Structure 1
Amino acid sequence: MPDPAHARNAGVPFAPDWFARITVNTPAAERRADTLVARRSLKGPWQAAWLVNALRCMDLTTLAGDDTPDRVARLCAKARAPLAPHILAGLGLTGVTTGAVCVYPTMVAPAVRALDRSGIPVASVATGFPAGLMPLPLRLAEIRYAVDQGAAEIDIVISRALALRGEWAGLYDELCAMREACGPAHMKAILATGELQTLTNVYRASMVAMQAGADFIKTSTGKEPVNATLPVSLVMLRALRDYGARTGARIGFKPAGGLRTARDALNWQVLMHEEMGPDWLRPDLFRIGASSLLSDIERQLEHHVTGRYASAARQALA
């Protein structure tokens, strides 16, 4: 189970005045995001250290229609040992693991077995992922099933239609019910930002999710036409920061979908560091949703250690 160094988000009564008058200047958000990543260059051992931290904050993920217990077990083995032994030795490190393994609800039990005594939590998507277009009682039942199977974190999806119609009270009520269904499991609220149309909607949906008790806010399912982007992430972080200023709660953030290269991992960590500070570069407050990112990070770290890029055939598939 997650063991954060801070109290969970208890949520607050619905407070539309916290976000109703907020509008986001999209060009300004885009300029700020571009400036942040352009002005910081990480090289050599500093780059290697930040890439290792990205591994520690990674939700290693498989969400495919042909997932099997054997595939999940292989993914869990990679989560236990994301770097080859010679890379770890070259870095002078031991015990590096990913932050979590994320699967569908029916794959939670195999993942829990494969990760036994590793300390790596299992996250499960739920609530009719990725569209969320199921009756609310079925979405809540799916959460309870995943928790009963051993999931320590639940990645729920919001009802985009409620956000697009501005029915924020209705969205809040749904999310409160989901938070209750999660019980001891941490709730990560996926906003599916690529389908919310405006950055203003992104800010408002972020605030509603946190008011309802979300422990993390997450950009995307990875299935939308547009997934995580730096401007969207910046807006979500500003909402996270505003919520923290009002309540004292420390909410986590997870970009997901479209992060494929080591450079992406560095860019999002720079964004977190500049906007939230170094405390938000820990697995209890920052996760990267990834299914293909690990291979490029491992490739870059091998180059740092050996001075050579290995063939992709030499790297265990993630």
Structure 2
Amino acid sequence: MSTTPHVPAAHALTDVTGSDASLRRFLHGLPGVDAVGLEARAAALGTRSIKTTSKAYALDLAISMVDLTTLEGADTPGKVRALGAKAVHPDPTDRTAPATAAVCVYPDMVAVAKEAVAGSGVKVASVATAFPAGRASMAVKLADVREAVDAGADEVDMVIDRGAFLSGRYLKVFEEITAVKQACGDAARLKVIFETGELSTYDNIRRASWLAMLAGADFIKTSTGKVAVNATPANTLLMLQAVRDFRDRTGVQIGVKPAGGIRTAKDAVKFLVLVGETAGTDWLDPHWFRFGASSLLNDLLMQRQKLATGRYSGPDYVTVD
């Protein structure tokens, strides 16, 4: 597993980020995406079945990859504390259940979340850069990031300027990501959110993936969870191909985080199959793959209990988020 520190514009590709023109040439020179082939491949991998022993492992692995998320205007310190407690001990009746990877909150709730998971190993992630729309000045975006990092965020989930990207101003997007990466410093890993549902084409998703990785992303993330189209097997497969190819070319490993719309254990297992078959087993680790979710964890816990006892628990078995 590569643990090479990621710096913007990995050495092997430094020359492509020197100007808007060179960046455009590189991104538009990437191979075009065969949409039919991509979707067929994602669908085929989704039909794979796994044995009972492998399923138990997969359920625990999926739990350990969850970024347990609350991003609502009605979030309260009490709700965030409860979410933190659930992240640390997802199943209070079974302490063998693994903790989740992280709790993901708004910047003003980072300190509360940090206290709730203290000493557990669960990370605190914070959305930033005027999430979810990203419509703010760069000064405001960077202030958002610094607030989260100063409060103790271990990870920052930023949104790209989709308007700039879709109008072809790639260098502007690149420079915003590098500035946010710099604001994170050594304190926080950076996840870059594309909002794939707004990028319209698979070619754009491939270009956004490479652009973010060149700019210093530690993770690339599908979505905010706030639009109609979020994570899908096809767009996640495409991003997994991108991180695989980027590591082949630069030696730098980047994580992937599908977010939004993944609600069942069955769906989560399908995504794990995508990871193993596309990027490889190095990515089957919470350090390199995450699920952005709120309701997914409950179904993973229900299925885990069913596998252990042969029956489903009652409706009060898991807490309602």
Q: TM-score, normalised by structure 1?
A: 0.94
Aligned-partner Cα distance in 2 for 1:173–1:51 = 39
Among 119, 123, 126, the residue aligned to 1:124: 126
Residue 191 of structure 2: SS of its match in structure 1? strand
Task: Output the amino acid matched with 1:270.
Answer: V
Match of 1:289 in 2: 292
Distance in 1, Cα, partners of 2:254 & 2:88 = 26
Corresponding residue number in structure 1 for 2:81: 73
Q: 1:29 — aligned with what? A: 38
**2:276 aligns to what SS in structure 1?**
helix
Tell me the residue number matched to 1:138. Answer: 140
Find the partner of 1:63 among 40, 57, 71: 71
Aligned to 2:316, what secondary structure does the other structure show?
helix
Query: Separation in 2 of the partners of 1:60 and 1:155?
Result: 13
State how far apart, in whole Å, the 2-side matches of 1:183 and 1:317 are.
Answer: 36
Equivalent-residue separation in structure 2 for 1:236 and 1:304 (angstroms): 31
Match of 1:258 among 257, 261, 265: 261
Residues 177-227 of structure 1 deviation map (CA, whole Å, 9 limit, x = unaligned): 111111121100001000001000000011000000000000000001100
Cα drift, residue 5 of structure 1: 6.6
1:269 counterpart (263, 268, 272): 272
CA contact (8 A) 1:106 1:146 kept: yes
Say if 2:316 is the partner of 1:300.
no
Question: 2-side partners of 1:301 and 1:118: how far apart?
Answer: 22
Deviation digits for residues 229-251 of structure 1, max 9, x if unmatched?
A: 01111111121122112210000
Gap regions ≥5 residues in structure 2: none
For residues 280 and 72 of structure 2, what CA distance do their matches in structure 1 show? 35
Segments of 4+ in structure 1 off by > 6 A? none
Mind listing any 5+ residue stretches in structure 1 that lack a counterpart? none
Q: Report the Cα distance in structure 1 between the residues aligned to 2:50 and 2:73, rounded to whole angstroms.
A: 38
- Find the partner of 1:310 among 310, 313, 318: 313
3-state SS in 1 of match to 2:179: helix
2:247 maps to 1:244: yes
Tell me, yes or no, if the aligned pair for 1:5 and 1:284 is still in contact at 8 Å: no
Instruction: State whether residues 68 and 294 of structure 2, in contact with CA within 8 Å, keep that contact through their aligned partners in structure 1.
Output: yes
Give the letter for the 1:269 counterpart: L
Where do residues 145-160 of structure 1 align in structure 2 (5 Å cutoff)? 145-160=147-162
User: RMSD in angstroms over aligned alpha carbons?
Assistant: 1.4
Residue 98 of structure 1 contacts residue 120 of structure 1 at CA under 8 Å; is this kept in 2?
yes
Write the distance in 2 (CA, Å) between the matches of 1:271 and 1:211.
23
Does residue 192 (structure 1) correspond to residue 201 (structure 2)? The answer is no
Whether 2:62 is the aligned partner of 1:54: answer yes
Scaled by the length of structure 2, the TM-score of the pair is 0.93
Supply the distance in 2 between the matched residues of 1:232 and 1:276 (Cα, whole angstroms): 14
